[in-house]
Structure 1
Amino acid sequence: MFAAFLRISELCHLRFSDISFQGEDVWWLRVRKSKTDQRGNGTAIAFRLDGQGLRLWNDFKNLHGFSAPEEFIFSCRTGGPPSRDFISHRLKKTLTDAGLAHRRLTSHSFRGGAATTAIRAGADPANVMRVGRWKSRKSFLSYVDPSPL
C-alpha cells in the first residue's frame, strides 16, 4: 500500500498480472479502476521495491504458491476479491498484534505516510499528486503531515 500510494479499494482488486518487475528495483503496478477513475481507464504506477519490502513480496509469493495471472493477490475462499471492510479489519488486527494500536493507524495512514515521506525527501508535489492519483491539491494536502521547519 505504502510504496504505490494505494487506496484500500485498489488493493482489494489487485491481480498478479497487475504487477511487473521492470529491472533494478523498479516495479510497475496497473490500477484498473480507482476512486478517481470510475470508468476504469486504468493507470500505471511506477514504484521502487527493494530490501525488506522485496524480501516480504518474495516470501508472500512463495507462500502463495503458483498463481494464475488473473488471480486476485488477496482473495476470498471463493476466489473473488475481499471487501474493503475485510481488509480494513485485517489491517487493524495486524497493527494491534504488532503493538501499534496506540498509533491509531488506518488504511489512509499508508497513503498519507507515502505522500509525507516523498515530500520530506524533496519530491515535487505535482509528481506526488500524480503518483497518488490525487486530483485536488486541497485533498492531497490533507494527507501530508506538517513538517517542522
Structure 2
Amino acid sequence: MCVGSYISGNGIYQKLYSAPGDRMSGVSAVAPTSGMSAILEGSHGGMLSAAGTAAAENAISSETLRAYDRALRQVTELLAGRLMEDENLSEVLSEMAADGAGRAKLGQIVAAVRFRARLAGRSDPVGPSCDAVLKAHRRATPPSRQVAAVDWDQADAAAALAASAGDLRGLRNAAIIATMSDAMLRVGEVTALKVGDIDHRRDGAATLTIRRSKTDQYGDGAALYLGIPTTLRIQTWMEAADFAGTDMTDGPLFRRILRGEHASAEPLSPRSIREIVRSAAAAVGIDGASGHSLRIGSAMSLVRAGAPLIETQQAGRWASPVMPAHYARNEMVARGAVARLRYPTA
C-alpha cells in the first residue's frame, strides 16, 4: 500500500492507494491531517516536502481547493479503479457530458486533475483524448447562463429592506449586502473579514483591507473604498452587536447570530453568505442570485456609469479584463463605436 495525499479546503487529506502511481482507487480512509506536515509521494518516487505542499496550498484560494476536493472525489468514483490517464479521463468526461454537465463543470474537473498532477510532480494526464471530448462538448453546448446580477440600485434597495426589519440579523445582512456591493467582494473574502480591516476616513467613508484573495495569493493585500452609507451600515451593525474588547480589532466582522439576538464570536460560513445574498435579492424581485451576483452587478454598474474596462478590472481585482468584459458586455455595447459615432446624441 502507498500513502498519498491531495490538498483539500481543510488542509491535506491523506488517501490510501492500492499501488504507487496515478491510481486513485482503493480509498480506505479519508481524514484531515494535522497542520501541513504531511508529505505527498509522487508516481516518480520523489517526495514533496511539507513546506512545498503548504506553498502549493497557498497558491490558490480555499474556495478553489474545496472545489478541487469535490471534483477529485467525483473523478475517483467514476474512474472505478482505472488509472488516471488521458484515455480513461476522456471516458469520464464523456460520461459526465452525457449526464448533462456544463462547460464550467468539465473545466473544473480538468483543472483539479492537473493541479493534483503538478502537486505530485507527475506529467499532465490530460491529453489529446480529453481535448477532443472537451472541444466536442463546447461545440454541442451553449455557454453557461450568467447568474442574476444585483446592481448598485438593487443592492441599495436590498440592504434598505433588510435593515427595515430592525433586528440584529437584518442590520447584519444589510451591512453585508452594502459591503459586498461597494467592494465587489467574493464570498470567501467576506467570511475572512476582521473588524480591524475597516479604517474609517475623516469624511465618513472607510477603507477596507482585503488581506488575501483569489488573485492575491501572496497576501500583498488590497485597499478598497466603502462609501458613507455602507460605512454607516457597518457601524450600526457593530453597535447593535455590542462588539467589545479584542472583538474590536481581531474578531470577525460578520458573525453568526445566536438565539436571543446575540452575536457569536464565530464568523459566518460561505454557505450562509450565499444564502443571505440569495434571500436579499429575492426580496427585491431578483431570482437566481448567487454569492457572485453583487460582484457582477457592481461591474455592470461601473461600466454603465462610464468606468473604463481597465478600471472595472482593477476595482474587482480580476487578473484579466476577460471576466468584467463578459459580465458588462451589454453595457459596453451602448458605449461602442456604433453607439458613439453613428448615434452620438442618442
**Fold-level similarity (TM above 0.5):** yes
Match of 2:249 among 69, 77, 80: 69
- Higher deviation after alignment, 85-94 or 126-135: 85-94
- Which residue in 1 is equivalent to 2:228? 50
Superposed counterparts of 1:7-86, under 5 Å: 7-45=186-224, 47-51=225-229, 53-66=230-243, 67-76=247-256, 79-86=265-272
Deviations 1:19-74 (A, max 9, x none): 111222432111011111123222212x24124x3442232121111233110012
Distance 1:69 1:32 in 2: 14
Q: Could you say which structure has the larger radius of gyration?
A: 2
Q: Structure 1 or 2: larger helix share?
A: 2
- In structure 2, the gaps of 5 or more residues are 1-179, 259-263, 335-346
- Which residue in 2 is equivalent to 1:5? 184
Structure 1 position 14, deviation (Å)? 0.3
Distance 1:75 1:108 in 2: 20
SS of equivalent to 1:23: coil
Distance 1:87 1:39 in 2: 25
Number of equivalenced pairs? 145
Distance 2:204 2:306 in 1: 20
Scaled by the length of structure 1, what TM-score is found?
Answer: 0.83
Aligned-residue CA RMSD (Å): 2.2
Structure 1 residue 95 corresponds to structure 2 residue 281 = yes
Distance 2:313 2:293 in 1: 16
SS of equivalent to 1:2: helix
**Amino acid in structure 1 at the alignment position of 2:312:** V
Deviations 1:84-109 (A, max 9, x none): 1122123323434x253x43222211
Q: 1:115 to 1:94 in 2, by over 3 A?
A: closer
SS of equivalent to 1:103: coil
**Amino acid in structure 2 at the alignment position of 1:49:** G
